[in-house]
Amino acid sequence: MNIAQRIRVEDPRRESPSVDPITLEIIRHQLVAIPNQIERNIERTAFSPLIYEYKDYAVGLVDPNGRLVAQSRGSLPIFVANALGTAVREGLSLLGPDGIQTGDVVITNTAAWLGQHLNNVVAYTPIATAHGLMGFFAVLVHWVDVGGAVPGSCLSSSTSDVWQEGIQLPTLKLIERGARRTELFRLIATNTRFPHLLMGDIEAQLAGCQTGHDMVQAVIARYGLDCVRDVIAALWQDSAASVGKLLNSAPQGTYRASSFLDDDGVRKDVRVPVEVTAHIRDGELTVDLSGLAPQVAGPFNAGRNGGAIAAARIACKYLLAPMTPVNEGDFTRLRVEVPDGTFLSAGPGAPIGQSGSTVPTVVDTILRALSDAFPERAAAAHHGIYGIHAFYGRAPATGELFQNLDTVTGGWGATATEDGPGPYRSSGHGDVPDIPSEMQEVFYPYRIEAKRLRPDSGGPGKQRGGLGVEKVYRVLHPCQIVVALDRTACPPWGLAGGGPGGTALVEVLRQSGEREALTKGERSLAAGDVVRVLSGGGGGYGPAHERPTDKVLMDVRLGLVTPQGALRDYGVALDGVGQVNLAETERVRREMRLKGPGG
Amino acid sequence: MPHSARYLIAADTGGTFTDLAVYDTQTYETRFGKTLTTYRDLIAGIIEGLEDAGGELSHGRLLKHGTTHVINAFIQRSGARVALVTTEGFRDVLEIGRGNRPVPFDLRYRREASLVPRDLCFEVPESIAADGSILRPLDTSAVKALAEQLQAAGVQAVAVSFLNAYRNPRHEKEAKDVLQDLLPGVFITTGTELSQEWSEYERASTAAANAYVGARMDAYIKAFETRLRERKFPGALYMMGSNGGVMASSHASSHPVALVESGPVGGCIGASAYARALGLDRLIAFDMGGTTAKCALVEHGRFEVQNTYYAGGYERGFPIRTPVLDIVEVGAGGGSIGWLDDNGRLRMGPHSAGSDPGPICFGRGGTEPTITDANVVLGRIGADSFMNGRLELDVQAAAEAIDRKLAMPLGFPGAQGVDRVAQGLIDLATVAMTAAIKEITIERGRDVRDYALFVFGGGGPLFGTQLARELGITNVIVPPHPGAFSSLGMLMAEARLDFARTFLQPVTESSLQSAARELTALEKEAVIAIGQDFDVSHLVFEHEAELRYRGQKHAVRVRLPAVLSIEAVIGAFEDAYRMRYGRVHPELTVDLFVLRVGALIAMPRPDLRQVSGVAASGEVPRTARRSVYFGAGEARMEVPIYRRRELPAGFEVRGPAIIEEYSATTALGPNDRMRVGDLGELRITCMPGAKSE
């Protein structure tokens, strides 16, 4: 099957004269501020650290067709694909345009629609007025556990269908015309391993919907629905115009790039190719993802909306509109083509537990394809993975179940003018801080013995990539570790002749002296075992032998590059007292130049 | 203390101006002074300004000083060459930070560089477990060897911060002692001297920051004290801390990070003093100056305090663990510029014309229309009465620029168009400020309409009624001397030091006993620290704790009862918890997370009745009328203008009206009512409006 699916938003209608340009700005400010205010409320009231520490949520306002009007600034990038609007569209298709009433709060996590792991549950409520439906206020929250094979539901690397990953809630009215449906609350509480955390988070989520609804209603009451609609149209129009301007000024044509993922967690010897074609034509960007590998056996799939479209939109946002609040207009000029059945447009029933984790690689591949069209905006690849390493087990003192879901921070890619930044989490994450080692050591049965940068892991280049990180854990009581790493065979690439960054790895060192390298899987750990988690570096930009020797020397002094690395990667030879050996450096660099890029 | 030591003096050094307030304890007079902050010699500027305000240093009883010195050193990167000494394995604690990207879609996002370059970050062998037990003793010979390296590297200051030291600071102390012996003259600081709470990155960052500014701050304070002595100042110098209390200069020298937000807190202290005196349980302190607006909640006369401050901002700056009054800042001030974006949309800020060149109407070379220009064009600020006429404002130039740069391109022709667009700039600033105020109240689960709005700063009184209307607030209060309120507030400050410790035990009879012991230990620590400079016989302690349900990492901060019983502690927790979450969970275990002790000593301060500035009762002359534009009617009105110093207590007026004074202007919208209160405060009852004013 190879049906080209076109997802487009019609061009917003032209600004009408019913609202003057000053009032328009005032309403715009008020609308865009509401999701940020609700976000504060959710952070304050959520129970689970996944919400208030990890910020695994999205808060926003969508129009009656699910088109994004405004989303809170803390929402994770992975949700800009408009998970909120997709949920609403499912509800409209199932319940009909009149099926959702004032006072209803609908929830959904249906795999076939949202296409992201079942933990991502959207709740939304309609904003109805006497003059028609204004839209919906929606809050997505990562539910801490929705049942399934493993605690946390989404951590296994080896589920083979979605039913092993938890319960699905296909457009259910959790609140109907203001009345709570207690049997649904009971159903949810019964199907989670952490009912206290989850039910507390759900309260925060519901309160977010209601309060957001009330605040939007207050704006409508003051200015009228027509004005508010005009403002939304203008909002979209502005974003679309900015993106269009960039696309028109870029060299028109077709751009390609490819990469691959290590494996799908089940068939460990089969690589997962990512082929991207992008066309810039007439102020439009088409991202053709028909070159993605077919659906995989393990849980590294995603559905169309949560996968292919999310990846294309995230790339579009990073490249073309990074500094403005997200709305549907950012994507008006984006078309995504992808047939059914790829690993980012997987069919119903496909395992999707680790749905988001492949997206940063696909985003980077799209950005790589477009780097020739926007050389001044492009960056080399970042470390590119979530790099899940989750410890779980029973707390030795209380016997209670604990789980610490952690992801890696690694190097980001260099640009034409700057070394790569980092270490930061993946491009699918935003304002997601590490939990301090001191806090982890109190709550979990291990000690953290080191957390340091990995010298030489930044991709060599005229501009160097950011460095990866090494973390060393010493286990104090028996527990389990779940690991899901990727991109060990296709390292974070450089641009314009820059070299690749170092790759990620988890090593388990047993007390017996046995040493095992691990990329995906689960292991039992005994007291005294040591786990090393290594994250990747960012790619370099430009040939490494063009990096000024004083910068290389500074990197060596700072310990970011070893003397061996300086010679091998940059052709800079150092003498015994740490000064540059100019003659030898000149000789080595001449050889590197002759060998050409990548030499 | 000699009898002639009669003046209480506050000197608030800001980026542009130094504000001074002098209170005469014999005549009960308060005088104010303002001088340009003299960058080459800050101290000379203060001393000159004082003499202008009639404050003779030789009769000074005390001088409280707020300064932007510390934050400027961070922003301008003008501090010392600092080394960091950490636990083996954690050299990169500053480089790695916490891995978050607060600007999510920026491929080039990076945090500002750490204050300590990586080649000056050193590890030493030592290890302390999460329970405080020593796993590996500190290798003092390695520390000694390191001292030589530090000397060779020419470091001027050293920060020592070890993993889990919040549980057991012994190794940090040992390392500091060894280094201080071998490196005399080098400023050495440890993480746990500044914070005994967990989070290794935040503590290390705090230690590095303290070391970075330590030597300079110490020199500044010593120089200041020398100059004061030369001028025969018989009193004591106190520094304004970010926690809302002053501290002895010796404490400030060793803990300079505690001064990071030394400037803006004065207004909050003043607001809380008035809140107590006026019996206002809930108010929002709102301060609008030239480049930013700041707001903070004051409840029952107390302000909230944050434990972590980001120098350079949350998005790209670095954290400092020090108590800082919880003040939210918005990029909207009198100098904020109105402009059109690429899509031809009207925008306001965050760029500011500052005081140089300043707004167009100042006639000092400003070319971009600002909020102040809009206020002058609309008649809210009087062109010839600004600063008592000391600076005549060019209305025409302001109106022309608004016309040409904004109104014409937006399609608003003529004088009416200029008014409409000028009002638009005011409205946009109002929207930005109301959004910030809503966030701070929503974040705490409060309803903004339950608060009074307490406005000060040069711009606060101009915006008060409009903000209140937007927020659904009824009561607006303008204190006496709003333009100099920050230095006035500083005169009210008590001495205060804060101590905290991560505790981490469930609430049980026995843990409460050990909590009480910990609190006593913290009090002893406080007595030692504060007793060096103050008479501790009047020391008052405040006990606070952070508690949480087990499994929920968010903690709730409560004041602890005098006697720690399970019922009282859980009760206080549940009250605060219910406020935040709307419900409680009696079946869950409650953990005591962090213990806090605030040590306070009252200081001589002005009587608020004496600073009211009200006129004796009698006839109130209206100085004039002028044409003022109010958004509500989208029209101009002839509005009476009053001089505040001519208004007696009890005076009432109904808006529209303008009340002018030296450093601020208060705008009353149509139908707003105002009465002059007993303390000279303007109490305004705002009429709700369907539309923005």
Are residues B88 and A222, on separate chains, in Cβ contact within 8 Å? no
Give domain status of residue A321, yes or no: no
Beta-carbon contacts of residue B13 (< 8 Å; ≥ 6 apart): B37, B42, B45, B46, B65, B66, B67, B68, B69, B263
Backbone region of residue B634 per phi and psi (left: phi > 0; alpha: psi in -120 to 50; beta: other values)? left
A59 domain-assigned: yes
Q: Which of B411, B427, B435 sits opposite A33 (nearest CB)?
A: B435
Q: Which domain holds residue A389?
A: 379-542
User: How does DSSP assign B61-123, residue by residue?
Assistant: EEEEEEESHHHHHHHHT----EEEEEETT-TTHHHHTT---SSTT-TT--PPPPSS-GGGEEE
Contact assessment for residue A80 and residue A59, using Cβ atoms and an 8 Å cutoff: no
User: Is A323 within 8 Å of B443 when comparing Cβ atoms?
Assistant: no
Q: What is the C-alpha to C-alpha distance for residues B374 and B407, in angstroms, rounded to an integer?
A: 12
Out of B103, B109, B428, closest to residue A25 by CB: B428
Q: Is A489 in the same domain as A523?
A: yes
Q: What is the DSSP letter of B347?
A: E
Question: Do the Cβ atoms of A265 and A520 come closer than 8 Å?
Answer: yes
Regarding whether A147 and A97 lie in a shared domain, the answer is yes
Domain boundary among A500, A518, A542: A542
Of B101, B347, B554, Cβ closest to residue A424: B101
Looking at the structure, tell me whether residues A505 and A471 fall in a common domain.
Answer: yes
Token readout for A551 is: 């910068």
| Strand, coil or helix: A541 | strand
Please tell me whether residues A93 and A157 are part of one structural domain: yes
Q: Is residue A222 part of a domain?
A: yes
Q: How many domains does chain A have?
A: 3
Mean pLDDT of all residues in B113-139: 97
For residue A458 the two structure tokens come to: 């930044």
Mutate to test the interface with A, among B100, B419, B427, B503 (most CBs of A within 10 A): B100
Is A318 in Cβ contact with B202 (below 8 Å)?
A: no
Residues A81 and A153 grouped into a single domain = yes
Smallest Cβ–Cβ distance between B108 and the set A26, A241, A415 belongs to: A415
Quote the strand ranges of A90-215, DSSP E. Answer: 105-108, 120-129, 132-142, 172-176, 179-180
What are the backbone dihedrals phi and psi of residue A196, each rounded to the nearest 5 degrees, phi first?
A: -65, -50
pLDDT at B281 over 70: yes
pLDDT digits over A148-200, tens only? 998 889 988 889 999 999 999 999 999 999 999 999 999 999 999 989 889 98
Question: What is the distance between the alpha carbons of residues A178 and A13, in angstroms, rounded to a whole number?
Answer: 34
Q: Chain A: residue nearest B427 by CA?
A: A26
Q: CB pairs below 8 Å between A and B: how many?
A: 206
Domain boundary among A239, A259, A276: A239
Same domain, A488 and A579: no
Where is pLDDT greater, at A55 or B411? B411
- How much is the average pLDDT of B475-501? 93
Please name each of the domains of chain B with its CATH number. Answer: 7-73+218-259 (3.30.420.40), 81-212 (no CATH), 336-427 (no CATH), 495-601 (3.30.1490)
To test the contact with chain B by mutation, choose from A20, A54, A452 the residue with the greatest count of B C-beta atoms within 10 A, namely A452
Q: Has residue A353 been placed in a domain? A: no
Do A128 and A181 have their domain in common? Answer: yes
Task: Please state whether beta strands B293-299 and B302-303 pair in parallel, antiparallel, or not at all (unpaired).
Answer: antiparallel
pLDDT in tens, B146-202: 999 999 999 999 999 999 999 999 999 999 999 999 999 999 999 999 999 999 999
Q: Do B164 and A558 touch (CB under 8 A)?
A: no
Return the pLDDT at A3: 32
Q: Is residue A191 part of a domain?
A: yes
Does residue A302 lie within any of the structural domains? Answer: no
Q: Which two tokens stand for residue A27?
A: 């309403």
Residues from chain B that touch A413, judged by Cβ atoms under 8 A, are 107
Residue A328 lies in a domain: no
pLDDT at B385 over 70: yes
Q: Which of B95, B164, B345 lies closest to A438 in CB terms?
A: B164
Q: Which residues does A495 contact at the CB level (< 8 Å), separation at least 6?
A: A368, A371, A378, A379, A380, A413, A414, A461, A539, A540, A541, A542
Among B453, B515, B130, CA closest to A438? B130
Residue A579 buriedness (CB in 10 A; 0-12 / 13-18 / 19+): exposed
Cβ–Cβ of A22/B342 closer than 8 Å?
no
Q: Among A239, A267, A284, which residue terminates a domain?
A: A239
Q: Please check whether residues A174 and A34 belong to one and the same domain.
A: yes
Distance in Å, alpha carbon of B197 to nearest chain A alpha carbon:
10
Interface test with chain A among B92, B93, B105, by most A beta carbons within 10 Å: B105
Residues in chain A predicted with pLDDT less than 70, given as ranges, are 1-18, 597-599
Q: What's the residue count for chain A?
A: 599
Compute the distance between CA of residue A507 and CA of residue A11 in angstroms, rounded to an integer.
52
Query: Coil, helix or strand for B348?
Result: strand
The per-residue pLDDT for range B527-565, each reduced to its tens digit, is 988 888 888 888 999 999 999 887 666 788 899 988 899
Indicate if A137 and A187 belong to the same structural domain: yes
Distance CA B70, CA B53 (A): 26
**Are A434 and A572 contained in the same domain?**
no
> What does the pLDDT look like over B32-50, one tens digit per residue?
887 776 656 777 877 887 8
Does residue B622 have a pLDDT over 80? no
For residue A557, give the chain B residue with the closest CA.
B119
Lowest mean pLDDT: which of A14-18, A181-185, B573-577, B603-607? A14-18
CB contact under 8 A, A196 and B585: yes
- The answer to whether residue B386 scores a pLDDT higher than 80 is no
Residue B3 is predicted with a pLDDT of 55
Question: Average of pLDDT values for B267-286?
Answer: 95
pLDDT mean across residues, chain B: 90
Neighbouring residues of B212: CB distance < 8 A, sequence distance ≥ 6: B73, B74, B79, B80, B82, B115, B157
d(CA B355, CA B349): 15
List, for residues B644-676, the tens digit of each pLDDT value: 989 999 999 998 999 999 889 999 999 899 999
Q: Which residues pair with A507 in a beta bridge?
A: A517, A532
Where b means 16+ CB within 10 Å and e means fewer, B625-653 reads: ebebbbbbeeebbebbbbbbebbebebeb
Q: What confidence score (pLDDT) does residue A597 get?
A: 57
Q: Verify that A452 and A537 share a domain, yes or no.
A: yes
Distance from CA of A218 to the nearest CA of B (A): 11
What are the CA-CA distances from residue B485 to residues A122, B21, B266 (Å)? 48, 9, 7
**Cross-chain CB nearest to A452 (options B91, B166, B421):** B91
Residues of A in contact with B551 (CB under 8 A): 47, 196-197
pLDDT higher than 80, residue B617: no
Residue in chain B lying closest to A450 (CA)? B89
A162 and A27 in a single domain? The answer is yes
Does residue A120 form part of some domain? Answer: yes
Maximum Cα–Cα distance for chain A, whole Å? Answer: 82
Q: Tell me the sheet residues that pair with A422.
A: none
